[in-house]
Structure 1
Amino acid sequence: MATNGNANTFGGLPVARLNDIANPNATWLDNARAPGPQPLPAADKAAWSLRIPPYRAAETFPEHFARFVATVDTTQVSALIIGCWGESSESSKVVVDELVAHAERLPALRHLFFGDIWSEENEISWIQQSNVTPLLRVFPRLETLIIKGGSMLVLEPVEHAALRRLEFQSGGLPDDVVRAVGASVFPALESLEMWLGVEEYGGDATIDDLGGILDGRGLPALTTLGLMNSEIQDEIAAAVAAAPIVSRLRTLDLSMGTLGDEGAEALLAGQPLTHLEQLVVSHHYMTERMCDRLAEALPGIVLGLEDVEEEDEGDEDEVWRYVEVSE
């Protein structure tokens, strides 16, 4: 699922959204690409995108949601995308409250993208999230949950039997959210992706905070793990090299961050990784020699080694490395 507003499918379904309420004749638009109004698709044949303009919106998000419930047979909706919900400073609690209050109207919901906000509307680290734990509690059959934005994000330890894919896309993921994931029980979870981000934008998680995830006790079915977009990527690589959960993985993603030769050396010196099908380390700061060593040590594994970054020299020749997504 792309995060720039250009995706046209979600949950295996084409995206449809409510059009601008100011034009009553333009009721439906297929991913904002069709030249004019489109027929209303069957409720179970589309991933429904709900979003309002961030400025001078013709309706509030609760009004927009009420129109959705009144227009679509929401009992058949399996995939839902929540886009911009109002002014840039507005908390996502207004959306959580609406979804919780109408949970019985969405019994078939399986896939939820919460915060599909484009950079033209709000930068990823300015998105004001809230406590998203109620979403997992009121939708026990949810299989996919993608959360975009880390500011003010809250997650409490929770047990969810059906969730298979969980993603946090952020320029800074709070440490208590990371710990909550590690303290949760997700027996069916197969894929976990976390953009940890930078401290400047709230990404204050340490290696200790990742302990619950790396021991894997609450994640018995996990086969894909992404600990990504971090300014402590070398430390993460060293921790992963000895983590119990790695022996069960098929895909390990350490991309988007500041991984250098030190982290790669730790990976090579740690537990065997030859069982992996894919190791993704794109957007890295490794030397060409280290890239060659990784490729030689892990034959037959798909290595994401593209996007080599150059270190910048700051004041007094201090070397700077940057994550892929921050602000």
Structure 2
Amino acid sequence: MDIETSTPVANLTHAEGLWFKDCGLIIQAETTLFRVSRDFLAMRSPVFADMLSMPTPVDAEMMEGCPFVRLPDAARDVTYFLKALIYSEFFEPWPTKALFPVVAGVLRMSHKYQVDVLRRRALLHLSSQHPMTLDDWDATGKNSMRAHGEFLLEVILLARQTSALWILPVAFYNASTRLDIEILITGLDGRSLETTDVIACVQGLRYLDTTATSNILDFLTPRAIPGCVLPVACAQKRGAKRSEVEAWRVYEPQEDTNPIAPLDMWEQSDYHGVDVCGVCRSYIESFHRSARQSLWSRLPEIFGLPPWAELEQLKTEALN
């Protein structure tokens, strides 16, 4: 139990939907009060069970005749956590959609207070938006949490805090390619990365913007392709398209835009803009797929993380 200086009662508010008058435990987080069942909380969390099993001192703080506990956690996190415990429909298993702040709050609290069922559920939600295969990455689409820039730093912090290292390759890729360098270094909304993670993002970004992007676009290099029926014309068309695509890499900081990241640089529909023979078309499609898969395979290494196979094992152990 965390004992701190009491907050003036006038500033405290009851949490909506989490103040049960017939329950005997009052919890304070920031300026929010929760009144819940002591036995229920102890049954679900071994950490709370240990806290609440301690003999109550004679001079212990009470409120409305109930034991009183202050938590150092954010009131929002405590709200999400308790609602997930009490209301079955509030935080349903994946693939039911869940807002990222809810996932993050439940994961932080369930990890800290050892509520394994909620921890696994939150990790599944987070993992669904941070795939471990290229096919799953492509299927995730633009509407996933990876497109929500305001949460990119928090995902990394959350993965580190809860030892969910398999989240980090995609989380680092997203942060390094979608956030401004200043935000990566100094943080956002009071949240900042550890120095080692900042370095990983910056070094990874240098590789992605140079070597990785060159490798991804190499299928448009106007080289001779065995079996091509129009070698001169096809080479010219590939070269012209390469010049056009290079313009996508332009960085304009004053316009708050970043170059297109290498994994997103070319889509299936873009092939329609390359009018080459069938032999060349098959070649460039195969070459591009291979280059993207090669980059994906190296993604953990680029950011100084264990290989995918090791990360997959960590994920399996955490979710079983």
TM-score, normalised via structure 1 length: 0.30
Identify, as 1 or 2, the structure richer in helix: 2
Higher relative contact order (CA 8 A, sep 6+): 2
Higher-Rg member (1/2) = 2
TM-score, normalised via structure 2 length: 0.31
Identify, as 1 or 2, the structure richer in strand: 1
